[in-house]
């Protein structure tokens, strides 16, 4: 689950197992955790490419429509983002999901990992698709990872994924900088008023449509499905899922994991389409570069320039510096007061 979820505590799998070097955890570095990512096709496409995956991109769908899904074929799977509302997700019968059926036997037949860390559900959902598709070129790093965890159960796979420094650092490299986060303050527990969001994967594997959600005990089967029928099948499943939410809930997002459009367009000689795709990729690269930048210093200098005349007429630059210092002190006091109130509420 992403955003505002409480940090789960878990033991170090690396302490008792010999991991390949690229998966060995540096404890000091891993203490920073996994950062929240934006749900953005450009972010996730560059993320999987950075992990070595070849000829794959993510495409955001603007409507839940089978024709739109077929338009981006070959389609490997979809990633669904939704608000985590307990009433819409909790099983009405113990041990039985609200839709589909648990498939314990599939836990070892396919790649399925329990989610052991917060803020990583997007990356885990995407990996749940690419690691289950034999027609995707994984690259050496993910191939080694998949081979290493092949005999593990879902708990150990989740632990291994959470301890992968390569995957964590790649994931975190696409997060926005947060210059005003006070890391000395403990992370609070999620409250009832918090907006919690979660990513899950749907992928056709060996003739079955599977829902792969790291918060569930097992993969969930939604019946027979092939690559050719996936578009129609997944639309039906998602419509049923959305119907369990209040009518005014519209915060959903659907990303298709599909083949690199540039390769398909180049193969048929569509130069205009290829040019559009290259322009889209260039814009994605630009946006991802900007996401990594911390513009606080720039904004500070711009503000000084814009307000220069004002501060010069009211005591000079020293007055401006004092104004900034006072504002920081007031902000810090509000944060401390809010934290104190939350701790008091939790204690009661």
Give the residue numbers marked as catalytic: 121, 198
What is the rounded CA–CA span in Å between residue 17 and residue 211? 29
What is the rounded CA–CA span in Å between residue 342 and residue 195? 17
What is the rounded CA–CA span in Å between residue 256 and residue 59? 5
Structure tokens at 84: 């985590």
Task: Estimate the crossing angle of helix 121-130 against helix 41-50, to 10 degrees.
Answer: 60
What is the rounded CA–CA span in Å between residue 304 and residue 316? 11
Structure tokens at 341: 């109130």
Give residues with Cβ within 8 angstroms of 89, minimum separation 6.
98, 244
A 10 A CB-CB count for 34 gives: 23
Which residue from 295, 282, 296, 285 is spatially nearest to 324, judged by alpha carbons?
Answer: 296
Please report which helix (H) or strand (E) contains residue 120, including its range. none
What is the rounded CA–CA span in Å between residue 139 and residue 116? 24
What is the rounded CA–CA span in Å between residue 43 and residue 311? 41
Which residue from 126, 113, 121 is spatially nearest to 76, judged by alpha carbons?
Answer: 126
- Beta-bridge partners for 211: 202, 220
Which residue from 51, 42, 59, 25 is spatially nearest to 171, judged by alpha carbons?
Answer: 51
Rg (CA), the chain: 23
What is the rounded CA–CA span in Å between residue 310 and residue 313? 5
What is the rounded CA–CA span in Å between residue 308 and residue 317? 8
């Amino acid at each position: 689950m992403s955003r505002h979820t409480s940090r789960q505590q878990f033991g170090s799998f690396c302490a008792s197992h010999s991991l390949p070097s690229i998966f060995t955890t540096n404890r000091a570095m891993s203490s920073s955790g996994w950062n929240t990512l934006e749900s953005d096709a450009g972010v996730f496409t560059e993320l999987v490419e950075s992990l070595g995956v070849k000829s794959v991109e993510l495409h955001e769908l603007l409507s839940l429509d089978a024709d739109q899904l077929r338009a981006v074929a070959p389609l490997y799977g979809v990633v669904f983002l939704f608000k985590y509302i307990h009433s819409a997700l909790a099983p009405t019968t113990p041990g039985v999901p609200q839709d589909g059926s648990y498939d314990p036997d599939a836990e070892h037949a396919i790649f399925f990992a329990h989610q052991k860390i917060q803020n990583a559900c997007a990356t885990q959902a995407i990996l749940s698709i690419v690691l289950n598709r034999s027609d995707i070129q994984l690259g050496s790093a993910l191939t080694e990872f998949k081979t290493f965890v092949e005999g593990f159960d879902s708990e150990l796979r989740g632990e291994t994924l959470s301890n992968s420094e390569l995957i964590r650092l790649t994931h975190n490299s696409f997060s926005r900088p947060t210059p005003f986060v006070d890391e000395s303050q403990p992370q609070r527990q999620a409250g009832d008023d918090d907006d919690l969001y979660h990513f899950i994967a749907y992928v056709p594997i060996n003739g079955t449509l599977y829902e792969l959600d790291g918060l569930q005990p097992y993969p969930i089967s939604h019946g027979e499905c092939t690559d050719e029928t996936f578009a129609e099948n997944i639309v039906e499943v998602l419509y049923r899922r959305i119907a369990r939410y209040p009518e005014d809930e519209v915060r959903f997002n659907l990303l298709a994991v599909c083949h690199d459009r540039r390769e398909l367009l180049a193969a048929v000689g569509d130069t205009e389409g290829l040019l559009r795709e290259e322009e889209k990729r260039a814009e994605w690269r630009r946006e991802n570069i900007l996401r990594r930048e911390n513009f606080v210093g720039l904004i500070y200098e711009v503000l000084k320039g814009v307000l220069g005349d004002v501060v010069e007429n009211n005591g000079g630059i020293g007055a401006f510096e004092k104004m900034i210092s006072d504002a920081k002190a007031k902000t810090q006091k509000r944060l401390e007061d809010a934290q104190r109130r939350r701790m008091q509420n939790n204690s009661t």
